[in-house]
Amino acid sequence: MRAPILTCLGLLLLYPFATLGEQWDLIHAGRLLAVPGESVASEQSVILRNGKVFSVEAGYILPGNVNKAESDTLEVHDLKEHFVMPGFIDGHVHFTIYMQPNEPLNWVQMSDPDIAIRGAKYAKDTLLAGFTTVRDMGAFSGDSIFAIRDGINNGNIIGPRTYVAGHIIAINGGHGDITHSYKQSVADVIRTSGVCDGVSECRKVVREQIRRKADHIKLTATAGVLSDSASGLEQQFFDDELKAIVDTAHLMGVKVAAHAHGAEGINASLRAGVDAIEHGTFLNEESIQLFLKTGAYLSPTLSAAATVQPLIDNPNSFLTPAQREKSKRALTQAKRYVRDAHTAGVNIAFSTDAGVIEHGKNALEFVLLVEWGGMTPMEAIKTATINGADNIGKADELGTIEAGKWGDIVAVKGNPLEDIAILQNVNFVMKAGEVYKNN
C-alpha cells in the first residue's frame, strides 16, 4: 500500500520544480520614461520575468510573442493610456513615528508590537502612493522597525522595499535622545541604544546598530527643529565623535547619513566623510563646496518644512516655544537653500521625513522641489529614481526600468513633465513584478 506513495515522493524529490514555471509580465505603456533624464518613448512594451525587467521593446508586443515556456504564466497590464516610470524612492521616512500632539506619550504607552502594527499601516500607505523603496532613518522603539522591514521582505505585510537605520546615533540629551522632559525612572527605560558620549561610546553604538542588522547608520550632527530644546540648530557632536561614527560604519561596509540643519554641523559632517546630509537647511558656500568635493547627497525634506506652517500659525498648536522659534527659522530658509544647492550642482536625493508629514503624502515633495527648489519636473523625478537609488547604494538594482533591475513601476494618467502635481495621485503601482494598485 505504501509503494505508490513512496514512488510519488521520489518523483517529487527528483523533479521538485517540474510543474513550477516562471512568471512573466507584459506592460503596454502608452508613454514610458524608462530612464529619468532621457527622452520619453511612446507605445513601448516592458517585459518582466520573475519580478525583474527582462527587456524593453518598441511597440506593443503581443503576448504570444513573449518567448516563454508552456509551463510559464503571463499577465498583461494595459497602460496604453498612462505615463509609466520607475517606482519612486524616498530616502528619509520614519515608519514607527507620526508627529502629533500625543506622540511623545505614545512612546511610553505603546508597546513595540503596537508600534510595529501601526508602522505596517504606514508602510502600506507609502507603497500605494507609488514609493516602492524607502530608507527608514531612525526608530525610537525597540525592534519594531526591523519587524516591519522583515515582514515586508517575507511577504507577510504590504509595503515598500525598506532599508533601516535602527536607533538614531545621538548625544546624551541631544536631538534623537527622546528622554527630554521625562523623569529619570522613565528616561532610563526609553533611552535607546544609539545614545553616546565620547569616541569609544560612539564606536560602540554604531557597532550595536549593525549587530541589530541595520542597513545604514543615521546620526544627529545638530539639534533638531522639533526636539524640545532651546539649544539652537547647530553642531552637537564633537568632530572626533563624528569621525569615529563615520569611520566605524564605513569599516563595516555601511553608509552614514547625518541629520544636520546648521552650517557648522553640516560642514563638520561632510569633513568627517558622511555619505548624505539630511535636511541641510542652513548650508552655506563652504557646504556647497564640500558637497561637490565629496559627492555626498543632500536630502532636503522640504515636505517636513511645509507641514509645520499651520502649526506655526496656530498659537494653540502642540509646538513648544523652542520648537516654534526653530520652525519659523527653518521654514524661511527652506524656500531658498535647495535652489542654491541645485544650481551649484550638488547631488540631491528625494527625501520627505515622512512621520513628520503624513505617511502616504510623500509626493508633495515633488511639487516643492519644483516650486521651492527650482527644479524642472524631470529633475525632480530623477531625484526620486536614479539619484534615490544611488543615494542608498542600490543603483544596480533600482531607479530605472532596464534589463536586470527590479520591476518597480508606477503609472499616472496625464503628463507629470507638464504638471508635477499629478504624481500625488498615482494609478498603478508594481513592486518586484507584483501589482498593488491599478485603477
- Say whether pLDDT at 111 is over 90: no
Closest CA to 356 of 377, 330, 379: 330
What confidence tens digit (pLDDT) does each residue in 199-211 have?
999 999 999 999 9
Whole-number Cα distances in Å, 426 to 125, 126, 419 = 12, 11, 13
CATH number of the domain at 21-87+401-438, out of 2.40.50.430, 3.40.50.700, 2.60.120.10, 2.30.40.10? 2.30.40.10
DSSP letter for 394, please. Answer: -
Cβ count within 10 A of residue 426:
23
Whole-number Cα distances in Å, 51 to 26, 247, 390, 433 = 11, 36, 21, 4
Q: What is the pLDDT of residue 102?
A: 72
More confident site: 110 or 114: 114
**Across 173-200, average pLDDT:** 73
Q: Tell me the percentage of the chain whose pLDDT exceeds 90.
A: 75
Q: What is the pLDDT of residue 14?
A: 42
Cβ count within 10 A of residue 372:
18
What confidence tens digit (pLDDT) does each residue in 284-327 have?
999 999 999 999 999 999 999 888 767 666 676 666 676 666 66
- Provide the residue type at 295 as one letter: G
Residues 151 and 145: their CA atoms lie apart, in Å, by 10
**Across 355-383, average pLDDT:** 97
What is the CATH code of the structural domain delimited by 88-391?
A: 3.20.20.140
- Say whether pLDDT at 253 is over 60: yes
**Across 232-246, average pLDDT:** 91
- In sequence order, the 6+-apart residues with CB closer than 8 A to the CB of 325 are 230
pTM of the model: 0.90
Evaluate whether 24 touches 47 at the Cβ level (below 8 Å): yes
What confidence tens digit (pLDDT) does each residue in 2-37 have?
444 444 444 444 444 445 799 999 999 999 999 999
Whole-number Cα distances in Å, 7 to 3, 13, 19, 286 = 6, 10, 17, 74
Where do the domains of the chain lie?
A: 21-87+401-438, 88-391
